[in-house]
């Protein structure tokens, strides 16, 4: 019969049989009531990975196609969000407002 120990409110170690682990207990030394419950075991890294692998993950959302435009100098496709061509470093964005005010 396997046993484990539970501490009562006064700190006494009370042996508990696994078969009787759900019943409320009384400490034989101080008559304090205690609840034993099953002893908790620590979770190993392998156990954590098994739990994570068991959960169903949703597939990643498909990447939306980013709009691109050709560079006017080298014709390399450039993202609409880019301000310059990565290949030839040509500036593609519209000029800032303060430059428009100077013209």
Q: Which tens digits make up the pLDDT trace of 39-88?
A: 556 778 887 788 777 776 777 777 766 788 899 999 999 988 888 999 99
Strands 68-70 and 77-79: antiparallel
Residue 90 has pLDDT above 70, yes or no: yes
Alpha carbon distance 103, 100 (integer Å): 5
Identify whether the C-beta of residue 13 lies closer than 8 Å to the C-beta of residue 5. yes
Pick 95 or 7 by higher pLDDT: 7
Residue 35 has pLDDT above 90, yes or no: no
For residue 89, the SS3 value is: coil
Contacting residues for 11 by C-beta, under 8 A, at least 6 apart: none
Identify whether the C-beta of residue 90 lies closer than 8 Å to the C-beta of residue 76. no
Q: Which tens digits make up the pLDDT trace of 10-28?
A: 888 888 776 665 667 778 8
């Amino acid at each position: 019969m396997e046993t484990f120990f539970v501490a009562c409110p006064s700190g006494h170690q009370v042996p508990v049989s696994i078969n009787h682990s759900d019943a409320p207990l009384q400490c034989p030394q101080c008559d304090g009531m205690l609840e034993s419950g099953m002893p908790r075991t620590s979770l190993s890294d392998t156990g954590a990975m098994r739990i994570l692998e068991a959960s169903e993950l949703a597939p990643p959302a498909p990447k939306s196609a980013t709009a691109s435009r050709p560079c006017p100098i080298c014709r390399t496709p450039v993202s609409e969000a880019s301000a310059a061509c990565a290949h030839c470093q040509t500036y593609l964005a519209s000029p800032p407002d303060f430059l428009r005010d100077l013209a």
